[in-house]
Amino acid sequence: MERIAEPYIIHYPQIVGVADPSGMRVEVVEFFDCVGGAMWARHHYQKSPLVLSARTVGATTRYLLKTGSAPLELAGSTFAAGISEVRIEGREIAVTYIGLGGGGVGASICRSTAKGVNRCTCDPSGGGRVAGSTVWLPRRERLLIGIDDTDTPDEGATWTLAHNIAKAVEDDYSRYLSHTLVQLFPVPYRTKNCVATVCEFATSDAESLVERFHGLLVKYTLSEKTGMAVYRGFDPSSLLDFARKVKRGEVTDADLDAAVKGGSVEIRMDGRGKIGAVAAIPYYTNYDEALLAWTGNG
């Protein structure tokens, strides 16, 4: 008969923390192995006063949190687990989870052993006990890399190259979080589909990450028109107006210059694809709008 080494523990594969520069907001990205448990946790955790939003992206749950502490009035079935404290401590983010019964198992041992946790405190859990943990995560920043125009009419695909480069440059300092295809306006000089790509990272070594990504893009791109743009910051929504213009029609370099002036965007490769590369950035993980093709209405 088969044996199960830990019948009452499901280990979260990885937890990553991204903080805004002010330290007032944190996004905690939890990679999960058990979808049922993750959906249960999201349902309950989003009731916590510190949780601004909770959403599922692929095999991750993303909790947008405000820093601070809040006592949780836990109740079986209706509010059985949550996040009670979020702190910025120098180069670390501390997150405290608490839960009842099985929710306490998830809030304690299941999360405390995740990759990416620097250290933790953890209560005994199981049965009907209240249990929790505090995990300390490296404080990372969000870094978004948009690329466009890497292929030719004969070979290549931007989205595959972007994903493979992102996987290649991932290390303990820079975690690859997401990959988003963005449909742009089908300009006459497109290869075929006119789709750009943005890759999202949580990093504590941005300069090295950008250099390595850029080096591989230069090495493997098939086009002389490649564009690469880099955004460092917590929320790139200020670029959405420009990005929507690129979805609706052809724009100029002057439009691009105005959009990035004084902002947090760096153009690393300034081929014609730089417009699509910048336009892709604010659509990271916004798959529904990112994939919409303009129909001439609205």
Per DSSP, the residues of the chain read: ----S-TT----SEEEEEE-TTSSEEEEEEE-S-HHHHHHHHHHHTTSTTEEEEEEETTEEEEEEESEE-----BTTTB-EEEEEEEEETTEEEEEEEEETHHHHIIIIIHHTSBT--EEEE----TT-EEEEEEEEEEEEEEEEEEE----SSS--HHHHHHHHHHHH--SSEEEEEEEEEE----TT-SSS-EEEEEEEEES-HHHHHHHHHHHHHHH---SS-EEEEEESS--GGGHHHHHHHHHS---HHHHHHHHTTSSEEEEEESTTHHHHHHHGGGTT-HHHHTPPP-S--
Range 82-94 average pLDDT: 98
Please check the confidence at residue 43 and state whether its pLDDT lies above 90.
yes
Range 266-282 average pLDDT: 96
| CA-closest candidate to residue 101, choices 44, 147, 165, 141 | 44
Range 192-215 average pLDDT: 94
Q: Which residues contact 155 (CB under 8 A, 6 or more apart)?
A: 222
pLDDT of residue 296: 64
CA gap 128, 10 in Å, rounded: 18
pLDDT of residue 112: 92
pLDDT digits (tens, 9 = 90+) for 95-153: 999 999 999 999 999 999 999 999 999 999 988 899 999 999 999 999 999 999 998 87
pLDDT band (50, 70, 90) for residue 262? confident
Count of other CB atoms within 10 angstroms of residue 297:
4
Range 194-203 average pLDDT: 96
Q: What angle do CA 205, 208, 209 make, to 5 degrees?
A: 80
pLDDT band (50, 70, 90) for residue 297? low
Range 68-87 average pLDDT: 96
pLDDT of residue 193: 60
Round the average pLDDT of the chain to a whole number and report it.
94
pLDDT of residue 190: 53
**Beta carbons of 98 and 122 less than 8 angstroms apart:** no
Considering the chain, what percentage of its residues have pLDDT values greater than 70?
96
pLDDT of residue 15: 98
CA gap 101, 105 in Å, rounded: 7
- More confidently predicted of 39 and 128: 39
Instruction: Show the tokens assigned to 98.
Output: 């608490």
When the candidates are 3.40.50.880, 3.90.1640.10, 3.30.70.20, 3.30.70.2200, the CATH number that belongs to 149-290 is 3.30.70.2200
Q: Hey, where are the domains in the chain?
A: 14-139, 149-290
pLDDT of residue 187: 64
Please check the confidence at residue 230 and state whether its pLDDT lies above 60.
yes
Please check the confidence at residue 259 and state whether its pLDDT lies above 70.
yes
